[in-house]
Amino acid sequence: MKEIIDRITPEHLKPLVEKVIQHQRITTDEALTLAFEADPGLLGIMADQVRQHLNKDSLWFIRNFHIEPSNLCIHRCKFCSFRSDVTENAWELSLDEIEEIVEKAAPSEEVHITGGVHPERSFDYYEQMVKLIKRLKPDLHIKAFSAVEIDDMAQSSGITTIEVLSRLKQAGLDALPGGGAEIFNQHIRSEICPDKTDADGYLRIHAEAHNLGISSNATMLYGHKETWNDRIDHLSRVRQLQDETGGLQAFIPLKFRNKNNSMANLYEQPLVEDLRLFAVSRIFLDNVQHIKAYWPMLGKDATELLLGFGVDDIDGTINDSTKIYSLAGAEDQNPMMSLDEFIAMARRHHRKAIRRNSNYEILETYP
């Protein structure tokens, strides 16, 4: 391996590549150097070394389903293909409908709940929803409500975000998903999602959750108006949060898809840019255990390629329960992945498929 790395590394990058291979933390400037000057093959080898160091030969997945309580939303994020005003395309699930979804769901370890920031629904509805699901399925992990949704619950009910989080935890909330991070750069943020929780608010709410014992994921929406500087700045703030709290489980780069939204004039990034971004994320975020490729958005083929660029987790079975990405133009219009598909993908990459719960505890290993 050393020989191959030596052969493909340009002389001026050798000290930096050595640093990565020896698992030393790199600076933001070094991350930029890698992004601009290392070719994708070299980035892949380095990211793979970091992945192996942190996750050995594991390829994690979960049996999960989504609940999207409503697509009505007070915000008008330009990249969103999901939100609706009150029209025939809008939906609002009642607690009875949510009960039916949970009762009918295939065997799962996790439900992922996220949706629009509804103009009228009270905090009580969300609290009751979590209590209801916990009562119906006490073992089902509830990963629910992005930091933006938590912020709105606090504002609309006149209590603090800490109070919202504590009450949801008491109701049965296990984790927060990473949605709402978009890109932290305020200049771009005010252009693409002007009126919602800013970067400081997002990071503060995640830190509050961690301090209460609620774990979370972080995301980054990439491939639109941001530069590599913005990406590394975003990664750096994620790394700092993790240094402070240790509560992040996974980092999930979310590739911008351009159908049915107000940014449809932008081209989607080519696959090689996804490879670069995932690899640099894996190398830079030395303190975040898992890098997740969210296959419903990336497609199964690209997800499989990304296994060689730092990815150790590919989310879950989904069971055709989310519309966010199919509406935005993702290939799988009815996303679902079977156990056999996970196992086969892992085997093709000499990995061990591991079925996990939301806390990355091993439930079953498929050699």
Site residues (vs ligand V47, CB under 6 A): 79-81, 177-180, 182, 217, 219, 221, 252, 254-257, 261, 294, 297, 315, 324, 328
Pairing of strands 352-356, 362-366: antiparallel
Q: Which is nearer to ligand V47, 102 or 252 (CB)?
A: 252
Measured CA to CA in angstroms, residue 106 lies from 103, 140, 325, 335 at distances of 9, 12, 21, 14
Smallest separation, CB 109 to ligand V47 (Å): 13
Smallest separation, CB 328 to ligand V47 (Å): 3
Q: Which is nearer to ligand V47, 54 or 324 (CB)?
A: 324
Q: Which is nearer to ligand V47, 204 or 347 (CB)?
A: 204
Smallest separation, CB 50 to ligand V47 (Å): 20
Burial of 139-159, coded b for 16+ CB within 10 Å and e otherwise, reads: ebbbbbbbbbbbbbbbebbee
Given a contact cutoff of 8 angstroms between Cβ atoms, the answer to whether 181 and 205 are in contact is no
Q: Which is nearer to ligand V47, 170 or 260 (CB)?
A: 260
Smallest separation, CB 38 to ligand V47 (Å): 26
Q: Which residues contact 37 (CB under 8 A, 6 or more apart)?
A: 10, 12, 13
Paired tokens of 182: 């978009």
Q: Which is nearer to ligand V47, 25 or 300 (CB)?
A: 300
Smallest separation, CB 14 to ligand V47 (Å): 36
Smallest separation, CB 200 to ligand V47 (Å): 17
Paired tokens of 319: 């069971």
Q: Which is nearer to ligand V47, 46 or 192 (CB)?
A: 192
Structural element, H or E, at residue 163: helix 161-171
The edge-to-edge listing of strands for the beta sheet with 313-316 is 313-316, 58-62, 352-356, 362-366
CB closest to ligand V47, residue no: 179
CA neighbor of 278 nearest in space, from 245, 302, 243, 244: 302
Distance of alpha carbon 54 from alpha carbon 65, whole angstroms: 27
Smallest separation, CB 338 to ligand V47 (Å): 19
363 class by beta-carbon count within 10 Å (0-12 exposed, 13-18 middle, 19+ buried):
exposed
Smallest separation, CB 150 to ligand V47 (Å): 13
Distance of alpha carbon 309 from alpha carbon 183, whole angstroms: 21
3 state SS of 14: helix
Q: Which is nearer to ligand V47, 161 or 322 (CB)?
A: 322
CA neighbor of 358 nearest in space, from 41, 108, 33, 98: 108
Q: Which is nearer to ligand V47, 82 or 309 (CB)?
A: 82
